[in-house]
Amino acid sequence: MQTRVHPDLASLTTGLILAGGRGTRMGGIDKGLALLDGQTMVAHVIARLAPQVGSLIINANRSQARYAAFGYPVWSDQQADFAGPLAGLQAGLCHCTTPYLLTAPCDSPYLPEDLLQNLAKALQNAAADVAVAVTTDPDTLTLQPQPVFMLLKRSLLTDLNDYLQGGGRKIEAWYRRLNYSEALFDDGDAFRNINTEEQLQSSRRTH
Task: List phi, psi (to 5°) of 80.
Answer: -90, 160
pLDDT tens-digit profile of 123-153? 999 999 999 999 998 888 899 999 999 999 9
Q: Are 92 and 159 in contact (CB under 8 A)?
A: no
Q: Are 192 and 108 in contact (CB under 8 A)?
A: yes
Among residues of the chain, what percentage have pLDDT more than 90?
76
pLDDT tens-digit profile of 139-189? 888 999 999 999 999 999 999 999 999 999 999 999 999 999 999 999 999
Report CA-CA distances (Å) from 7 to 10, 11, 170.
8, 9, 33
Residue 22, judged by CB atoms within 10 A of its CB (0-12, 13-18, 19+), counts as middle
pTM: 0.92
Residue 101 has pLDDT above 50, yes or no: yes
Closest by Cα among 118, 95, 87, 98 to 190: 118
- Close Cβ partners of 89 (under 8 Å, ≥ 6 residues apart): 16, 18, 59, 101, 103, 160, 171
- pLDDT band of residue 194 (cuts 50, 70, 90) is confident
- β-strand pairing of 74-75 with 55-60: parallel
